A and B are shown apart, each in its own frame.
Chain A
Amino acid sequence: MGGVVHVLAVNPVPARSQMGSSLGFHIILACFGIAFVAVTMTAEWIGIRRGDAAALLLARRWSKVMAVLVAVGAVSGTVLSYEMGLLWPGLMGRFGAAIGFPFSMEGIFFFLEAIFVGVYLYGWGRLPPWAHWWSGVPIVVSGVLGALSVVAANSWMNSPAGYTLSHGKLTSVDPWSVFFNASTPYETAHMVLAAYMVTGFLVAGVYAVGLLRGRRDRYHRLGFAIPFTIGGICAPLQVMMGDIIARFIANNQPVKFAAMEYVTTTTRDAPEWVGGIFINGKVYFGAAIPAFDSILVGFSPHTRVIGWDSVPPSQRPPLVTLIHLSFDVMVGIGFFLLALAAWQGWWWWFHRRLLLTAWFLVPSAVSGVAAVAAMEAGWVVTEVGRQPWIVYRVLLVSQAVTPSSGVPVTLGVILVLYAIFTVVSIGVPMVMSRRWRRETPAEEEAEQVPYGPSPARFSLAGPTAPPGVPPESSGGPEAP
């Protein structure tokens, strides 16, 4: 491979920044695309099963928020598809035939997801309750399989497999080995768990704030408990997964691992650095746990850990401090979320009640933001840690970047647009929730709903509701 020849014909930094910011933005929405439906369907299940109006109301409102997030996610995902060509024609022109297969599979799952999202989001009023619930199942399945496909493409860049090159040209492809490369199971499990954690803790955080402000009704308790449970179940699995993946990376991408853990030279008894800044060959402000890195990698202090001196400087990742600190942030937040989940779990297990003290709710309120930070830090580790390669040990980023001159302009546009998106993606659900709260007083709606001994039953459109009658009599679209 001509990888050693460092071709710096064009500057990849603007392209790299644009891809990074697009991916960093999209991945948050992708989490909601993967996991939010499952959270909503859990609430819907409880609502239908127990005739619980609060749970059903939560499910409906979540699906309204989902409509916004899914639309923005579909668009920001398209941006990424375009950017594969706009920014990295050197990658796609050479390896499009290999990396394209996972993306094609993702296309199918994206299709199914988009179609059933249309049914689920807009079918609330007129589908029977259980039919509506089942229309969400394909979204959950295709969300996970879609994540598998896209992450497989990224995994392939970390562990390229399933292709043959001759004279720099791709001559044959084994799509199956491309899809199920060595990194795929690890990265996929890590990402799907992350998606459920991000969604669960973010949604729970919203209701934690409500609970802290004294809104302690069933609606808010359920709104907190359902997503927190989902996020909390994933937290211990994720910590275990992370431990397994770290060992895998130490074997599979030792240079990335070396950057993550500040392993300068290949050594036994490698210390585990917590925090610290790497300048000119020395770590400042960090705490070193002797030999612990070796123990983590091979369960023994005598395990040899490969350092970044194993490759020439041109093949080492830049910004090791960023990589290491991002890794520490990710691991730290992972344990923080695990502790939160364990705390609530302990309380539930022995008291069969939700723990709703301020001591618990304040950290829970920030748990979602923390989960997002951990996920972003994780992507920084895996993407910056792979530099200078775009396909590990096969193709350099500088060989893949577009020769077109417009990238700084599109980078600027993308940054401005995504700043607006971020404000709106957060702002719109906030405005919606404020509207919901303002309109809660029952007397406003009291005239519209027949008042009876069991108003909950009637409005559920559940088994007791007359078939075909939409649960709310106030204004369908057919009203002229």
Chain B
Amino acid sequence: MSPSPEDIAVAVILFVVIAAYALFGGADFGGGIWDLLAGSAGRGAAPRELIDESITPVWEGNHVWLVFVLVLLWTAFPPAFAAIFTALFVPLSLSLLGIVLRGVGFAFRHTAQRLHMQQLTGATFAAASLITPFFMGTVVGAVATGQVPVHPAGNVLAAWTSPTAILTGFLFVAACAYISAVFLVLEARQRGHQDLTRYFSRRATAAGVLTGALAGGTFAELPASAPYVYARLTGIALPLVAISIAAGIAVLGMLWLRWYHSLFLRGMAAIAVATVVFGWGLAQYPYLVPTSLPLAAGSAPTAALVAEFVVAGLAVLLVVPAFAFLYFLQQRRVLTAAETDAGLRLAAHLEQAPPSHAAAAPPPTGARMTRALVLVVLAIRVIRDAFSRSHRR
């Protein structure tokens, strides 16, 4: 049986969300990787500050894409979700560990400013930024190579320790570093830091070359480990692969020529990453897990899929403008973590007299008693009414 249009539509939404997470979440992970590699406290101070400034206000919003991936997967494709989370219990738990450590390291780094804790929390944040993309990569590698059984009896170690899965893990790390460095080039340029622009430009080039090499390596492994995906990648999905390669080369060229056009550079880097995600999706079609779990067999009932479609529509209506607003403010540098309350503190200290709205003469006690009673009785009746009605329904 072939997949219904609803199946395909929701699968497309799922891959769009995955691509968004790869871009936005990936860039934040990459920031952590560059933080890790920035060297000693003195030498790395400037790049670390830039990374921190560009990630802090947005990372939480970017993180939500991941929650959406999970929710979409379990709502629209429950059997695939159950199978993946059972068989790949270990790498998923490890990636979760990375997410937890990273978020906490990040949260406390700012408050730990004057404590010795700062270096520890910073290191936690940075190291966790490596762990999470790597293990997520192994998960994707395991799924793409079809190593996830439909009804697993427990965790499957071999699924995510195959050469392809491990290579995919490294590929994810490199891709995060790459996309992040490209974005940081523009952040540095916008702030007028010439040296940091060149600093991240060099790193973006290196990470881009490494990502390309790892992608090539993974690709070379595919004929043996994932023949179905390989055949479609070199067949119907070939245009996407070609676009990705072209966009990647274009980014490297722009960096080499120092043509830091905000929209083009960002766009090309985004296309290079997003087309790989879509290529992976197209190569798997029509399977959720290649050749064992087809889309049609693993989909939720139609009404659930339609509901997800509505949710996606709501997201486009509500979340996209909100995100645009957030990034707009962030680009305009309205959002900043560094704030002192010195003025307020002084003012509060000086202003000891109670404010001038001094109480008007209170009404007599009897009247206040009655008023209080009436209020309480009214409140009770309103709530009782509301719930007795909803109960009858």
Contact = CB atoms under 8 A, between A and B. Distances in A.
Contacts of B376: 236
Contact of B350 (A68, A96, A455): A455
Nearest to B388: A244
A241 interface: yes
Given A64-B111, A104-B308, A107-B67, A85 B92 contact: yes
B91 to A, nearest CB: 11
Contact of B104 (A72, A115, A219, A458): A72
B75 A114 contact: no
Contact of A115 (B110, B153, B154, B323): B323
B43 interface: no
Q: How large is the interface on B (under 10, 10 to 19, 20 to 34, 35 or more residues)?
A: 35 or more
Nearest to B72: A104
Nearest to A400: B82
Contacts of B342: 445, 448-449, 472, 474
Nearest to A59: B344
B374 interface: no
Interface of B: 49, 53, 56-58, 60-61, 63-64, 66-68, 70-72, 74-76, 78-79, 81-86, 89-90, 92-93, 96-97, 99-100, 102-104, 106-108, 110-112, 114-115, 152-155, 300-304, 307-308, 311, 314-315, 318-319, 322-323, 325-326, 329-330, 333-352, 354-355, 357, 359, 362, 365, 368, 372, 376, 379-380, 383-384, 387, 390-391
Given A52-B355, A123-B329, A421-B104, A475 B343 contact: no
Interface string A236-261: 11001100100010000000000000
A349 B368 contact: yes
Given A92-B81, A112-B319, A404-B154, A440 B345 contact: yes
A93 interface: yes
B140 to A, nearest CB: 15
Given A93-B79, A173-B300, A79 B346 contact: no
A336 to B, nearest CB: 19
A477 B81 contact: no
B108 A428 contact: yes
Interface string A116-160: 111101111111000000000010000000000000000000000
Given A92-B81, A96-B300, A445-B342, A219 B348 contact: yes
12 contacts: A85-B70, A101-B311, A108-B314, A114-B60, A114-B64, A118-B60, A119-B329, A173-B307, A244-B383, A428-B112, A455-B347, A460-B344
Interface of A: 50-54, 56-57, 60-61, 64, 67-68, 70-72, 74-79, 81-82, 84-86, 89-90, 92-98, 100-101, 103-108, 110-112, 114-119, 121-127, 138, 170-175, 185-186, 217-219, 236-237, 240-241, 244, 248, 349-350, 352, 402-406, 410, 413, 417, 421, 424, 428, 431-432, 435-436, 439-440, 442, 445-446, 448-449, 455-456, 458-460, 471-472, 474-478
A118 B67 contact: no
A125 B329 CA distance: 12
Contacts of B70: 81-82, 84-85
B68 A459 contact: no
Contacts of A456: 347-348, 350-351
Nearest to B152: A403
Contacts of A125: 336, 339
Contacts of A54: 348, 351
Nearest 3 A/B pairs, CB to CB: A100-B75, A93-B82, A459-B343
B278 to A, nearest CB: 22
Contact of B75 (A101, A123, A428, A432): A101
Nearest to A404: B89
Contact of A440 (B85, B112, B349): B349
A404 to B, nearest CB: 4
Contacts of B60: 70-71, 74, 114, 117-118
Contacts of B325: 115, 119
Given A104-B311, A350-B368, A440-B349, A244 B384 contact: yes
B110 A75 contact: no
A476 B322 CA distance: 25
Of listed B107, B302, B352, residue having the most chain A CB within 10 A:
B107
Contact of B99 (A78, A107, A114, A445): A78
Contact of A97 (B85, B92, B300): B300
Nearest to A175: B307
Contacts of A57: 341, 344-345, 347-348
A81 B351 CA distance: 48
A280 to B, nearest CB: 37
Contacts of B352: 217-218
Given A104-B75, A442-B349, A448-B342, 20 more contacts: A52-B351, A53-B351, A75-B107, A78-B100, A79-B96, A82-B70, A82-B92, A96-B78, A100-B304, A100-B308, A101-B311, A104-B308, A111-B315, A115-B326, A172-B302, A173-B300, A417-B100, A442-B350, A472-B343, A476-B338
A455 B343 contact: yes
A413 B97 contact: yes
B99 A75 contact: yes
A172 B299 CA distance: 11
A445 B102 CA distance: 35
B329 A92 contact: no
B346 A445 contact: yes
Contacts of B390: 185
Contacts of A403: 86, 152-154
Contacts of A173: 300-301, 303-304, 307
Contacts of B71: 81, 100, 103-104, 106-107
Contacts of A104: 68, 71-72, 75, 307-308, 311
B133 to A, nearest CB: 15
